[in-house]
Chains A and B, each alone.
Chain A
Amino acid sequence: MNKTFIIAKKELYRFFTDRRLLFSTVLLPGLMVYIIYTFMGSAFSSMFGQGAEAPRVLSVNTPASITAIAAEPQYGFGIIDIDSEEDGKNEIINKTADILMVFPADFDEAVAAYENASGGLAPDVAVYYEGSDTAATAVYSSIIGMLEEYEGRIANKFDVNRDNAEADLSGGGGNVGAQMMSSLLPLLLIIFLFTACMSVVPDSFAGEKERGTIATLLITPVKRSGLVMGKIIALGIIALCSGISSFVGTFLSLPNLMNVGGEEASLELTAYSVEDYLFLLLIIISTLLMLVSLLSIVSAYAKTVKEATTLATPLMIVIMLVGVTAMFGGGGAQTDFWYYLIPAYNSVQSMVGIFGGEFNLVNTIIAVCSNVVYTGLFLVIITKMYNSERIIFAR
């Protein structure tokens, strides 16, 4: 039998026969994700209570093309054409309407005549809503999504809110909408992945050092690289179980989360493809491997489990901050490929892409591959550390 495999088997036996450990690292994360999301889902749907009735969408100079796309089943907005922009804005402020779109007078003709290459300003559409109204905020996201899709269909011949004019007529932001919940998912997932690794890695590396059991292994005819690999494989599998648990929790609670704001406001979230889930899983696995090997380095350096936990705290903070960036990315994922070379950030951005319905195959694959490369690099480092008696016997 291969020695690496024997070591891995022992670590797995240790873990899977310990019911307490099993509960806290595998069952608990999934359960917590499920409870948190379900709770959030019901909390928000009560907030979005009035969203259940059809949103009132006003429009000035409504072009025929927009009326047509709004009537498509995935949007299903009935657009009310009005003459005065001022009246519309007043309705928004008084919350008698959810959305006001203002098109240029000859929108369809201008779009048809516009040449991308000309460099001139494309026809601009202004969209207004009342930001303190949660239902309106959700409808706003949906309308923007619709306009952007239309823009895509006609090859970028007009802009939406080009000058970034204050579209939120309440004048204040800070509203939690359904969109925000989709940007909360990457943050929560990456935190759960990190804590899953934290609950097993320091004990296996620093703990073994602290308890003096590592020397007993080092006098057996096992290569130090084999010892490290065996541990990493086992920890990877354990962390994976924990990751899958969070994943299943997310998966099961999505329907509860999706109820938010009624049918109209549910964004594109309801429509995840098998491909989306597959790549989400790939991202989760590669992120876990990267985190396990990274934390192994920290834990092998530390003298005690406590020290390992302390040393890992800055990492935890960085990971959380990276997760938080997902919530302020303007709702979309980064598109430049080099963002997907940055560890942790690449995973979060890939998740943002997947949850935001703008999944990018190339970037996601870059993220997965770079995570694998980082894992390999970290493995080399930790094997080097295990060959250093100053590190391995540090007391």
Chain B
Amino acid sequence: MMQEILVAKNLKKTFRLSAKQRQIEKTSLYERIAVSDLSFTANEGEIFGLLGPNGAGKTTTLRMLATLIAPDSGDAFVDGASIVSDPEGVRSKVGFLTSELRLEDYFTPNYLFDFFSSLHNVEPQKMEQRKKMLFEKFGVDKFAEVKVANLSTGMKQKLSIIISVVHDPKIIIFDEPTNGLDVLTAKVVTDFLLELKAQGKTIILSTHIFSLVEKVCDTVGVIINGKMVACDTVKELTKEKNLEDKFFDLYVQEEGASYE
């Protein structure tokens, strides 16, 4: 029997629109609904994909799950901890990675690993062990004492991934994990995702790349305009046609035949 580990219930998030933005969009609305009434459940040990076009609300959803921003209404429970009433508890259980999370240029990978480990209450012994293992896996070991400012973009990205899992979280949230990476680095990342899954971790990722979903995800939720329009196992969704065609069907259903 599958164990539910992440339950999102009726998440809603709106952003205030500036006067200029209202003018550009010729709208009298003061708010943009980024995510509306979004519910889904992820099971322990699976890779859950949030699939959606640009501006669908994927990043917003993941930021709420990682407690970077608070939902207007609704709640989500991460391994039992509420993102609304126990954000610190949630943060100790999840690792979050997006391109918006930067590392300070001045420090070295070695220092940052230790710093974030201590913020996550990782025992010194376990910290050394994980540092060695993760640095070797991503090839950061040779650059352990090079300041972040002097690392290549790919190396920075890899270090960010390492830092997001210093505390060996049960749940890992990745926003567009392979965006902007070359094929080699992208493969390192997808392999890492599968490896985490093999270790029994739960992964929530967002993407607009169909092939990534088909390759790694067990379950997929399709988000269009802040709403979850379909949520099922990849197997079930792709029973009749491939994911891409299925997505277009859903889009037409939701928006009318307005895509071109």
Contacts and interface: CB of A to CB of B under 8 A. Distances in A.
Chains A and B come from one and the same complex: yes
Interface stretch (B40-48, B103-111, B131-139): B103-111
B119 A6 contact: yes
A86 interface: no
A96 to B, nearest CB: 67
B115 interface: yes
Given A6-B115, A6-B119, A10-B115, A218 B68 contact: yes
Contacts of B89: 221
A212 B101 contact: yes
A212 B119 contact: no
A393 interface: yes
Contacts of A14: 104, 106-107
A221 B68 CA distance: 11
B69 A393 contact: yes
A218 B163 CA distance: 13
B119 A221 contact: yes
A213 interface: yes
A109 interface: no
Contacts of B94: 219
A215 B105 CA distance: 15
B117 to A, nearest CB: 10
Given A215-B100, A389-B69, A393-B69, A220 B119 contact: yes
A14 B108 CA distance: 11
A213 B106 CA distance: 11
B186 interface: no
Given A14-B107, A389-B69, A216 B163 contact: yes
B106 A389 contact: no
A6 B118 contact: yes
A162 interface: no
A204 to B, nearest CB: 11
Contact of A221 (B101, B105, B106, B120): B120
Given A1-B118, A219-B68, A219-B96, A213 B91 contact: no
Contacts of A389: 68-70
Contacts of A222: 88, 119
B102 A213 contact: yes
Given A215-B68, A389-B69, A220 B102 contact: no
Interface string A377-395: 0000000000001100100
B238 interface: no
B101 A216 contact: yes
B92 interface: yes
B116 interface: yes
Given A14-B107, A221-B92, A389-B69, A216 B118 contact: no
B104 A215 contact: no
A72 interface: no
B183 to A, nearest CB: 26
A212 B120 contact: no
B35 interface: no
Nearest to A215: B101
Interface in B34-85: 66-70
Interface in B223-255: none
A349 B151 CA distance: 51
Nearest to B67: A219
Contacts of B116: 216, 220
A18 B105 CA distance: 13
Nearest to B119: A220
A302 to B, nearest CB: 18
B119 A213 contact: no
Contacts of B163: 216
A284 B111 CA distance: 34
A390 B68 CA distance: 11
Contacts of A223: 88
A216 B118 CA distance: 14
A318 to B, nearest CB: 31
A213 B66 contact: no
Contacts of A7: 119
Nearest to B173: A219
Interface string B170-201: 00000000000000000000000000000000
A213 B103 contact: yes
Nearest to A212: B102
Contacts of B69: 389, 393
B168 to A, nearest CB: 14
Nearest to A15: B106
B115 A221 contact: no
Contacts of A218: 68
Of the candidates A7, A208, A216, A217, the one having the most CB atoms from chain B within 10 angstroms of its own CB is: A216
Interface in A219-262: 219-223
A236 B181 CA distance: 41
A1 B117 CA distance: 11
A338 to B, nearest CB: 42
Given A14-B106, A212-B102, A213-B102, A220 B120 contact: yes
A162 B101 CA distance: 70
A213 B102 CA distance: 5
Given A6-B115, A10-B115, A389-B70, A221 B102 contact: no
Nearest to B94: A219
Given A211-B104, A390-B16, A393-B69, 16 more contacts: A6-B118, A208-B104, A212-B100, A212-B102, A213-B102, A213-B103, A215-B68, A215-B100, A215-B102, A218-B68, A219-B96, A219-B101, A220-B119, A221-B88, A221-B92, A393-B68
Interface of B: 16, 66-70, 88-89, 91-92, 94, 96, 100-107, 111, 115-116, 118-121, 163
11 contacts: A6-B115, A10-B115, A13-B111, A208-B104, A215-B100, A216-B102, A219-B68, A220-B120, A222-B88, A222-B119, A393-B68
